[in-house]
Amino acid sequence: MRRTIILFILIAALAITGCQLFPDSADGGAGKEEPLEVLGVTLAPSENLSAATKNFPIETTTVVVWKLAFSGDPGAGHAVRAEWYWHDGSLKWSEDRKISSGAEVPVTVVGGKGYDSPGGWEPGVYTIKFFMDGAPVTEEIFRITGEAAPEGEPIMLAGIDFHYAGDIVNPVKIFSRDDTDMVIWFAKFSLAEGAGGEHTVTATWKNPEGETLWTEQRAIAITEGSEVKQVAGGKGYEEPGNWAVGTYTLAIAVDGESLGEGTFEIAEQPPEDEVELADTLGLDLMRIAFYNRGDYVNRATEFTNDETEMIVWEVSLLIQPDTPPGNHAVVAKWYQPGGAEKWVQEKEFEITDEDASKRIIGGKGYTNPGNWALGEWKVKFYLDGEFLGEQSFTVK
Q: Model confidence over 190-224: pLDDT tens digits? A: 998 889 999 999 999 999 999 999 999 999 999 98
Check whether residue 266 and residue 297 sit in a common domain. no
Supply the pLDDT for residue 319. 75
Check whether residue 33 and residue 76 sit in a common domain. yes
Any domain includes 256: yes
Supply the pLDDT for residue 173. 86
Supply the pLDDT for residue 151. 65
Check whether residue 263 and residue 311 sit in a common domain. no
**Can you tell me the distance from the alpha carbon of 206 to that of 340, in angstroms, rounded to the nearest whole number?**
52
**Can you tell me the distance from the alpha carbon of 23 to that of 295, in angstroms, rounded to the nearest whole number?**
50
Check whether residue 362 and residue 382 sit in a common domain. yes
pLDDT band of 17, cuts 50, 70, 90: very low
317 pLDDT exceeds 60?
yes
Strands, E assignment, 223-271: 228-236, 246-254, 257-267
Burial annotation 331-348 (CB, 10 A radius, 16+ → b, else e): bbbbbbeeeeeeeeeeee
Cβ contacts of 262 within 8 Å, gap of 6 or more: 88, 89, 159, 160, 161, 162, 185, 187, 249, 250, 252
Check whether residue 325 and residue 216 sit in a common domain. no
Supply the pLDDT for residue 376. 93
Check whether residue 201 and residue 305 sit in a common domain. no
**Can you tell me the distance from the alpha carbon of 386 to that of 330, in angstroms, rounded to the nearest whole number?**
9
pLDDT band of 358, cuts 50, 70, 90: confident
39 pLDDT exceeds 50?
yes
SS3 at position 64: strand
Distance of CA 117 to the CA centre of its chain: 20
Using DSSP bridges, classify how beta strands 302-303 and 283-292 pair: parallel, antiparallel or unpaired: unpaired
Question: Residue 291 maps to which CATH number?
Answer: 2.60.40.1930
pTM for the whole structure: 0.61
The residue segments making up the domain with residue 373 are 283-395
Check whether residue 102 and residue 213 sit in a common domain. yes
